[in-house]
Structure 1
């Protein structure tokens, strides 16, 4: 009689997403992608993952009137949060964490993973460490922190030194880069050893932050791996985008419904898409139903060196999935979660030569019904390639133009040919792909003439541009411009109290109940003076008129639609920031 082999014990992981501010402003519209990737990796490794997004719990507490926005002040107090992490008593933070965790099977977990989110949200970052401290204090569980916000905090580790010191001292690990393999390794060690991993030890661990004396150090990041996210266990209804759905209507009406859905999910800018979703949710069951939009990524790391970008300082090997794996993942996610809608978050879609033709032909020939959007570069796109992309389900492409000044393009090493950009925008219009642009204003030594080149380009191509996002330049330390500011004509100003100043700005935004798009620019940790030019104060004085000029070029269709939908919801007075040319800072 054969003896069955002993079953390998399963490691039980409680995986939590720390809550941010969004549920108090608008419906969530995407399940947490990074958490889904790490969950997929843990489950592939045989772990039993109990997955929860605490944004869902915060949303229900908020809707039930259990707290006001102003009540959350302690989360925006540097000393209150870090003292709590260090063991001090704080009844509000402790009880709030306890309410968020109600109903979770904490005792069964051998290890707890907490995502601090990826939306540059201070409530995400602060609540992550509060929840971790609560679990340490009351349950003694090993805690592993992760999330893209940790990458942000590590880039500005001098400004957030107190946060990092508390985290490294009191938690078991904090992962600052890709977590899909690092989490598996850490969970295995913690479950086996049942002791804390000393992050302060001198030997580096891949992807894990550490202290060397009083210095916060970032270990080399682990490599990305392409995986389909796994969202099983989440309350998926909480991420529904409410779209028109009338299966018994005439083909003509169904076609009209689908066109509206594409507009809502792809054509509308974020502030309008969120409002349309809120409006449609009120009609759920009356020709409207909830559908998920799937986030997915199949390439990481950019071969270009745009000087403002965080990927410009270090060259990292390109990671790109095969076409077979990409189509299999997208078709599998579409079937599993019953949706044809995708938001792709790649560096850019047409990164690899020949990929466009191979992907599009595979999707078309296999009859996979998809709708998707992604980033792209103008380089190498032809009319024929764009037509294939449209046929394979491409609804919108976002191009990083940044500036239309030939001088500024050369300075930031963008490698964009403006004539080519104009041709591609026209072709997108012809084949039915909405084309969005990213625009940066406030670059060092951007003068009236260079700024005018950008506005002239936008006005000249307005008929072919769906929408452009206006971004105020900020200094990223992990970029060429941040690492070598003098080479780009600027000297940096660093603020010793930047952490609390940003917390205060975020609390004012929350407590004053402004529209969600007024969220402070949390990545603007540093200011700069131009060498032989303007001071930071002078640059701040001209930024609002520039933004006003850019916003005046936008199509009025979206603002008109926003006002119509707002009247249906009685939302008078809560206008998006772009309507008022706002740009919140630390001040």
Structure 2
């Protein structure tokens, strides 16, 4: 069969990690929109449609390129959300062009959006990049008559060699389409389903590039969410759901709707939110619906750090923020939900006193949890402070550098993550690692918590070599 477009995602590692397999939500969402607009779409997931066990990454990608060409599509779309799957996309594009040079290769996703000019400069195998959501851009290209030169300038947000359609169309509810479950070639092979019932974030944290793609909060239409949950349930498998709405709880009504849909299903789930968005009463509500773990983007428990991160503006807001974290820890303990707190310290400007303040607050959270439910425990996830392209920290790097900050690399290496490696004269890389080790020492997960984590956490991507 010939297709208008084949959508490919980076393969996950073979099962040597005891973690789960999940499909690409980005490809499933885009593919569903296009298929419901009349396009012929093939969503190809090498993690379940090819044998990844023991495969050497680069020879594996040569075989994958052959499969992509054999499917005879007019376009090849590659989802690139991070530097890791960006590197995958680059190698795959190179191998595809060796076999069929005339096949247009198009990258999309957050990483591709933020690095679009550099991708076209450094990767001649990539023909174009979609900046922002890809629904309208790919629909416009697919509507080009078969056999004609693609009408690049008709595609909103598309950047290609020789031109740019700078009119980025951000996601709106009129683009929402129920997920086309027929695009999942082997749904029985998955352990985890990633899902979003809302998109976007109105906050502007210093480290985050999310608003580039989705600058405002949008609830997906209820009829779409209802159809999607019914579609997943029709597979008759107890998937673990990763509900990755950036701000679940921002609209309490959406929490009500989602819980009403999930409670009758066999699905357990985890969700993501902020400690100043989710409320304790919601914790009880999601627990009844099957929630087993909540990831809170805490980032810090220190006042100066949270102001630097633009999580808080003043002392009053800071007090509400940390009290919210305490109340949610208590609510999780009482309702048997495992809390996981992301901790980003040290961040720009952090000194030893900031790290001490944060650590003492984390100790308090551990004490609250263990005092109520000693058999539950919680996770503390220490994170390096990233400088994602397009984030305020990255855009304002010259001013941070003038304050004495040091980073792991510059923007020229498009396949590497940028991290802050020195935050002040007192805190460099060694001090940062020592702090993260201290945070890890506070971990108190139970055996059951570790079991839940292994059920809900996807496997890492297969690493490939660009050179």
Short-chain TM bin: 0.7 to 0.9
Q: Secondary structure at the match of 2:292?
A: strand
User: CA 1:326–1:238 in structure 2 vs 1: closer, same or farther (change >3 Å)?
Assistant: closer
Cα contact 1:437–1:468 (8 A) shared by 2: yes
Q: Partner residue of 2:413?
A: 499
Distance 1:231 1:330 in 2: 11
The verdict on how the C-alpha distance between 1:476 and 1:180 changes in structure 2, with shifts beyond 3 A counting, is: same
- State yes or no: 1:523 paired with 2:417: yes
Could you tell me how far apart the structure 2 residues matched to 1:205 and 1:47 are? 16
Alignment partner, residue 425 of structure 2: 534
1:499 counterpart SS class = coil
Distance 1:370 1:21 in 2: 23
Find the aligned partners of 2:302 and 2:34 in 1 and give their Cα distance.
47
C-alpha distance in structure 1 between counterparts of 2:50 and 2:231, whole Å: 31
Question: Which runs of structure 2 are paired with 1:130-279 in the superposition (5 Å)?
Answer: 130-137=94-101, 140-151=102-113, 153-154=115-116, 161=118, 163-167=119-123, 171-189=126-144, 191-192=145-146, 194-197=148-151, 205-210=155-160, 220-223=168-171, 225-232=175-182, 234-236=184-186, 239-241=189-191
* Alpha-carbon distance, 1:475 to partner: 1.7
Q: Is 1:29 matched up with 2:12? A: no
- Work out the CA distance in 2 between the residues paired with 1:558 and 1:217: 53
Q: Distance in 2 between the 1:354 and 1:237 partners? A: 30
CA 1:358–1:170: 2 relative to 1, 3 Å: closer
Q: How far apart are the structure 2 equivalents of 1:209 and 1:124?
A: 20
Indicate yes or no: 2:119 matched with 1:128: no
Looking at structure 2, the residues matched to 312 and 117 of structure 1 have their Cα atoms a distance apart, in angstroms, of: 14
Please state how far the C-alpha of 1:339 moved relative to its aligned partner.
3.3
Once the two structures are superposed, residues 35-75 of structure 1 have per-residue CA deviations (whole angstroms, 9 ceiling, x without a partner) of 11111112101122233223446644x44xxx646xx4xxx
Distance 2:210 2:138 in 1: 23
1:527-576: per-residue Cα shift (whole Å, max 9, x none)? 5766xx439xx6223121111111111126469979xx9xxxxxxxxxx9
Largest Rg, 1 or 2: 1
Root-mean-square deviation over aligned CA pairs: 3.8
Residues 111 and 498 (structure 1), Cα distance of their counterparts in 2 relative to 1, 3 Å cut: closer
Q: How far off is 1:397 after superposition? A: 1.3
* Structure 1 residue aligned with 2:350: 446
Contact 1:378–1:399 (CA under 8 A) maintained in structure 2: yes
For 1:461, the equivalent position in structure 2 comes to 365
- Counterparts in 2 of 1:183 and 1:549: CA distance versus 1, 3 Å: same
SS at match of 1:206: coil
Q: Is the 8 A contact 1:226 1:320 kept in 2?
A: no
Report which stretch shifted further, 433-442 or 219-228: 219-228
Q: Per-residue displacement from partner, 1:308-347 (whole Å, max 9, x unpaired)?
A: 2114689823221234432332122222463353111111
Q: CA deviation at 1:381?
A: 4.0
Q: Aligned partners of 2:281, 2:322: CA distance in 1, in Å?
A: 20
Compared with structure 1, are the counterparts of its residues 25 and 132 closer, same or farther at alpha carbon in structure 2 (3 Å cutoff)? Answer: farther
Shift of the 313–543 alpha-carbon distance from structure 1 to 2, 3 Å rule, reads: same
Measure the CA separation in 1 of the matches of 2:412 and 2:448.
34
Which residue of the partner structure matches residue 82 of structure 1? none
User: Would the alpha carbon gap of residues 166 and 135 (structure 1) be closer, same or farther in structure 2, given more than 3 Å must change?
Assistant: farther
| C-alpha displacement of 1:13 | 2.5
C-alpha distance in 2 between matches for 1:235 and 1:11: 16
2:74 to 85, 110, 115: 110
TM-score by length of 2: 0.79
- Aligned partners of 1:561, 1:348: CA distance in 2, in Å? 25
Secondary structure of the corresponding residue to residue 50 of structure 1: strand
Q: Distance in 2 between matches of 1:298 and 1:551?
A: 32
Q: Does 1:43 align with 2:35?
A: yes
**Unmatched tracts of structure 1, length 5 or more:** 1-9, 73-92, 242-292, 503-521, 566-575, 577-587
Q: What is aligned with 1:550?
A: 439
1:86-127: CA deviation from partner (whole Å, max 9, x where unpaired): xxxxxxx7xx65522455673643333333465734542332
Secondary structure of the corresponding residue to residue 110 of structure 1: strand
Cα distance in 2 for partners of 1:315, 1:235 equals 29
Q: Which has the higher contact order (CA 8 A, sep 6+)?
A: 2
- Classify 1:560/1:124 alpha carbon distance in 2 versus 1 (closer, same or farther; 3 Å): same
Find the residue that maps to 1:443 and give its secondary structure. coil
Distance 1:445 1:229 in 2: 44
Choose which of 362, 367, 375 in structure 1 pairs with 2:272.
375
Contact 2:132 2:212 in 1 (8 A): no
- SS of 1:555's equivalent? coil
